[in-house]
Amino acid sequence: MSKAGTPSLTTGPVGSELLRMTGPMTVGLLANMLFNLVDTYFIGKLGQQELAAMAFTFPLVFFVTGSSMGMSIGVSSVVSRAIGAGEGERVRMLTSHSLLLGLVVVISLLSVGYPLLNPILLAMGATRDLLPLIRSYMLPWGCGIAFIVIPMLGNSVIRASGNTMIPSMVMLIAGFINVILDPLFIFGWGPIPAMGLQGAALATIIAYLVICVVMFSLLRFKYKLLVFKLGSLRAVWTSWKEVMVIACPATVTNQMIPVANGVLTAIVSRNGEAAVAAWGVSTRIESLMMSPFFALSTVMAPFVGQNSGADRPDRIREAICFTGKFCFAGSLLIWLTVAGFGQQIAGMFTVNPESLRLIQQHLWIVPASYGFFAWKLQFTSAFNALRHPFYSSVTFLGRFFILMIPLACAGQYYYGLPGFYAGIALSNVGALFLAMGLWKWLHR
């Protein structure tokens, strides 16, 4: 594949193509995780109050980035299908219209969110003495939010063409710049004054500003996908509707994930502080272990989209079968590793004996179901690429609200935390069967 907009995933070995894209995508996801960890690490050096203020920014930041991820899913779906169909001019229009849509959504969120910032923070439980600190972060972050959204959408366009190396490199550049600027702006150095929490926001925005310029340059000059003659308002509105048909359900689903996680945390909290600490550590370990499967689900969208546009359902079926084998083989390896070295892994994060025991217990039980959960991710990604976001949302939300929360709650009630963990594992199994049932129903 030499140019974005040229189909590259409609020929060649299916497994090799998926693995070729998954490797760089995994690196990009890990870089994104590092981005957040670095901010938290340096802000933790400022003190408990700054760290608490930072914690209150997470839901607000996730709301915006979750909306952007929803748009990215929509953009990837429509662009990849247009690429697969060989509609080069339409790919350029969709790309340009989608970036404009991103700017409109950003301006809308800011115009609504800023006047309500203090009431929202107070409703979340922030004390009035924390409000100035929180606002010192959110105001510069909000002013630069376009620099965050545009690279996300641009990355989704390039991924839609089958190229995951460039998006991963862009995220690595952002992470590298953030690592350098964070301590300089937070603590000060030479002529640079110490700006504390506000400095962390500025470091993030500057990092994203750089990659925003890089992304615009790539789309405009390298891939020739960014045009400034957008056509009629009807053409723009048609593109926006096509993207939002996928993006709206995906965004709602993304916003429900922290709600469900909050309910699970509330269930765990009945077992005491050590259990909550163990749960927090376990979920972070889990996100790292699952990163290859999340990366695979990200690349499944352009693969399925291109082959759908090229009318190659045989390759889509082969991709579903291949990802199932990959997910179960990879998860088995992860399970054997964490089961054998659970104590050593837990010891990297805590020395509390009770938390150590509970983390180890989690790593014995829940990873046994990773293969089911990982394959379910591939089905949901394929649903979005095929313009059936409702099936994806049903699978995601069904896993959380119909299976996981009731099973985890029942397990906790009858068997304590081991039952809670078993409930989560069973919900992963059930979610896969739900996804498979919907897939068969779709292709009946």
Under 8 Å between Cβ of 56 and 130: yes
Residues 316 and 419 in one domain: yes
DSSP-based three-state secondary structure for 266:
helix
Task: Tell me the residue range of the domain where 52 lies.
Answer: 14-230
Place of tokens 């641009």: 154
Under 8 Å between Cβ of 101 and 286: no
H or E stretch at 27: helix 14-44
Domain membership flag for residue 236: no
- CA–CA gap between residue 181 and residue 188 (Å, rounded): 10
Residues 24 and 80 in one domain: yes
Residues 214 and 316 in one domain: no
DSSP 356-368: HHHHHHHHHHGGG
DSSP-based three-state secondary structure for 189:
strand
Residue 4 is predicted with a pLDDT of: 56
Dihedrals φ, ψ of 350, to 5°? -155, 155
Residues 297 and 377 in one domain: yes
Where a domain ends, among 169, 198, 230? 230
Residue 2 is predicted with a pLDDT of: 41
> pTM for the full model?
0.84
List the beta bridge partners of residue 192: 189
Residue 438 is predicted with a pLDDT of: 97
Domain membership flag for residue 8: no
Structure tokens at 92: 């350029």
Under 8 Å between Cβ of 71 and 205: no
> Of how many residues is the chain composed?
444
- CA–CA gap between residue 32 and residue 294 (Å, rounded): 13
Domain membership flag for residue 159: yes
Residue 7 is predicted with a pLDDT of: 61
Provide the domain count of the chain.
Answer: 2
Where a domain ends, among 167, 200, 230? 230
Residues 258 and 223 in one domain: no
Dihedrals φ, ψ of 219, to 5°? -65, -35
DSSP-based three-state secondary structure for 272:
coil
Residues 349 and 222 in one domain: no
Domain membership flag for residue 19: yes
Residues 221 and 257 in one domain: no
Residues 158 and 44 in one domain: yes
Say how many C-beta atoms besides its own lie within 10 A of residue 87's C-beta: 16
Domain membership flag for residue 373: yes
Residue 236 is predicted with a pLDDT of: 92
Residues 73 and 218 in one domain: yes
Domain membership flag for residue 287: yes
Domain membership flag for residue 243: no
Residues 259 and 164 in one domain: no
Q: List the pLDDT tens digit at each of the 444 positions of the chain.
A: 345 555 678 888 999 999 999 988 888 888 777 766 677 678 877 776 777 777 677 667 777 777 888 889 999 999 999 999 888 899 999 999 999 998 888 888 888 877 888 887 787 677 788 888 888 888 888 888 888 888 889 999 998 888 888 888 888 888 889 889 989 999 998 888 989 888 988 998 999 899 999 998 999 988 888 888 888 899 999 999 999 999 899 888 887 877 787 788 888 888 887 888 788 778 878 888 898 999 999 999 999 999 999 999 999 999 999 999 999 999 999 999 988 887 887 787 667 788 888 889 999 999 999 999 999 999 999 999 999 999 999 999 999 999 999 999 999 999 999 999 999 999 999 999 999 999 999 988
Residues 293 and 393 in one domain: yes
Domain membership flag for residue 219: yes
Residues 221 and 308 in one domain: no
Under 8 Å between Cβ of 389 and 246: yes
Where a domain ends, among 167, 195, 230? 230
Residue 148 is predicted with a pLDDT of: 83
